[in-house]
Amino acid sequence: MKRVVVTGAGGFIGGHLVKALIAKGYHVHGVDKKPLNQWYQVTEEADNLVLDLTTKENCYQAVNGYHEVFNLAADMGGMGFIETHKADCMLSVLINTHLLMAARNKGIDRFFYASSACVYNASKQTDTDNPGLRESDAYPAMAEDGYGWEKLFSERMCRHFHEDYGIIVRVARFHNVYGPYGTYDGGREKAPAALCRKVIDGELNGVKDIVIWGDGHQTRSFMYIDDCIKGILAIMYSNIEEPINLGSSEMVSINQLADMAEEIGGFKLNRSYDLSAPKGVRGRNSKNTLIRHYLNWEPSIPLMEGLKKTYTWIREQMIEAKESNKHVRFN
């Protein structure tokens, strides 16, 4: 039986990945620094362990006796978090550094690193009509301050551990992943979940107004979690040696995303715009030429389809919280 480690297993993507690997018949070691009762999903069939992986000794403990590592561990969140916690985001470099050292010394065969579209040169993202970011657009380097620079540096470290020590390393640059069992409140949530929550709040509690960060014209693409998991597994077991985009190419504005959430909920809100709020780059989209070339596949679940599932799940959580007179808030 293949023995694999998933770091960040208590997070949104990590929780889904653990379930997918268990379904494939793997022995899974799920690791996260959060207490187990704060994990977004806990799969009982996995060997779950609470460890802070910024510490080298803990990384050695996490990978000892296993064959492969999926490194999804990072201190991150939506734009509201990464623009105000740049030092915290940079400290995630300790996780990947120590995990690579442990992988080298403990004989790990294959290593997956979850990077981000935040590595891309900001000068390529100044127009809302973004043609799609090619993998080569990461250089010359001008990454998102804090989070993006940590990801870009860690990509290079993965490359050199492959070159110098022979570890098979695969790197995927995630573009805005969303779906059920993710953060929707508390400050770390991303735009799809935040907008769903605000529309549901209007529906359930009569809140009639919504504040949108920026002018609403900024553009992004959003990848549903099922596409993300499929892509992670395909890239991990491929021959793709360079960092590669993993994201939808269906680009929408934030206003259009809000329109979709309102259509799903059947509830319209009065919009106002906070131009001083964190809003990131002007336009970002995934160019999927390379992943289609290598895998004859790309993320393709329509945004409306995935958003309906996400909206339904968030609504269930909010109704449960309302009925139990509790305010559910993810850390």
| Known catalytic membership, residue 165 | no
> CA of 148: how far to CAs of 31, 89, 120, 129, 245, in Å?
23, 9, 8, 22, 14
Contacts with 203 (C-beta within 8 Å, 6 or more apart), sequence order: 265, 266, 267, 315
Amino acid letter for position 158:
C
Question: Which helix (DSSP H) or strand (DSSP E) does residue 293 occupy?
Answer: helix 289-295
Q: What are phi and psi of 234, to 5 degrees?
A: -65, -40
Q: Judge contact between 42 and 62, C-beta under 8 A.
A: no
How far out from the chain centre does Cα 314 lie?
18
Q: Rounded to an integer, what distance in angstroms lies between the CA atom of residue 124 and that of residue 205?
A: 41
> CA of 313: how far to CAs of 54, 310, 327, in Å?
32, 5, 16
Closest C-alpha among 101, 99, 109 to residue 3: 109
The token duo for 168 is 């098979």
- Residue found under tokens 């996490």: 62
The token duo for 166 is 């022979």
- Residue found under tokens 């131009």: 275
From 120, 147, 178, 184, the catalytic residue: 147
Q: Rounded to an integer, what distance in angstroms lies between the CA atom of residue 314 and that of residue 178?
A: 12
Q: Rounded to an integer, what distance in angstroms lies between the CA atom of residue 309 and that of residue 303?
A: 10
Q: Rounded to an integer, what distance in angstroms lies between the CA atom of residue 301 and that of residue 310?
A: 13
Catalytic annotation, residues: 147
